[in-house]
Chains A and B, each alone.
Chain A
């Protein structure tokens, strides 16, 4: 139904609520029509709208039956509007402060996160607990051209190791995770292993330790991976696993397992399916993400 009857769009509200350009104005005018939306509160949710910006329905509820019912109800409802109100112009100036573009020559890795071992408490939230405890977190890692050139020399740049540790060894299985601050990275080591023979792909190994100042959120990770670069210097394989002894949660990731649990982060090069156009979560602060101090 979404494929044939709608133009489906997925957006991060952090960008859309802030950008001062045509797209941002269109978004804000559209969501402002949602019944019950309170000023200053998140605009996340689902919206069905005509292309002129007239909202047909907006809601923030994950009930799948409600979603299906309202999608069926509105799929034929895109008659031309009586008058155009908020339709954007064809060509617009983009607010560069909120534009995120993959750096020239960089590649994208998919990042998947899952809790594989935990002492979960007794269930108290029904299907929500069931879904959250089995959930896979998703993000993207950007690897710059300079970092790829270093990997080709069998060197792991400190920026890449720190970026992985601070921005990707996070528990994003239940929502937006807090990233690790610069001072919370106690230690990260990631290096190529000595070549055992000529047949195996070059292997990476290392570890990382991170903790908040109060020790309530912490991560000790063992890392291992394989990297391959072709004769043209292109990164053609980047498989990495971090097995983390993790504890704690963030403001937007409540209901973590109590105590220490096993969080596994796994990476691979992203297939060219379009979703790699989504920037890393931590790229909201792009300079910090790339420099990863």
Chain B
């Protein structure tokens, strides 16, 4: 067997093993409701109560007009979304 075929065969076998796996247990209606209530925050955290601006230039103009400094919170991935 040619060595370069081995990775392809391995990948195909792995994909086939995925599809051959046992069925995923379904979520019951009760579990759905319980998990939704558990994971969706029921109250805002402190940082969420801050009126964050997401438009930098609009924020700069607001800072100029009100005489306040800018506070930037910057992340790889939006701080208010996926970080």
Contacts and interface: CB of A to CB of B under 8 A. Distances in A.
A51 B62 CA distance: 9
A243 interface: yes
A11 to B, nearest CB: 5
B68 A6 contact: yes
Interface string A41-66: 01111111111100010000000000
Given A51-B60, A211-B14, A266-B36, A281 B76 contact: no
A281 B76 CA distance: 10
B24 interface: yes
B1 interface: no
Given A6-B68, A9-B56, A44-B75, A220 B38 contact: no
A78 B69 contact: yes
A5 interface: yes
A64 B11 CA distance: 46
Contacts of A146: none
B57 A11 contact: no
A10 B73 contact: yes
Contact of B74 (A16, A136, A172, A225): A16
Given A222-B27, A274-B54, A2 B71 contact: yes
A78 B60 CA distance: 12
B12 to A, nearest CB: 11
Contacts of A209: 18-19, 21, 24
Contact of B82 (A2, A116, A139, A226): A139
B60 A87 contact: yes
A88 B54 contact: no
B77 A281 contact: yes
B19 A2 contact: no
A10 B61 contact: no
Given A12-B76, A71-B71, A224-B26, A281 B82 contact: yes
A280 B81 contact: yes
Contacts of B36: 239, 241, 266, 268
B60 A88 contact: yes
A39 interface: no
A23 B57 contact: yes
Interface in B23-82: 23-29, 31-32, 35-36, 38-41, 48, 50-57, 59-64, 66-82
B77 A43 contact: no
A166 interface: no
Contacts of A90: 61
Given A10-B79, A23-B57, A177-B82, A45 B24 contact: no
9 contacts: A8-B53, A51-B60, A138-B81, A172-B83, A243-B27, A264-B38, A266-B38, A277-B54, A278-B81
Interface of B: 11, 14-15, 18-19, 21, 23-29, 31-32, 35-36, 38-41, 48, 50-57, 59-64, 66-83
Given A11-B73, A23-B57, 20 more contacts: A7-B53, A7-B71, A9-B72, A46-B71, A46-B73, A49-B72, A74-B69, A75-B69, A78-B67, A110-B40, A114-B39, A116-B39, A172-B82, A175-B77, A186-B18, A207-B23, A207-B26, A224-B26, A264-B39, A279-B81
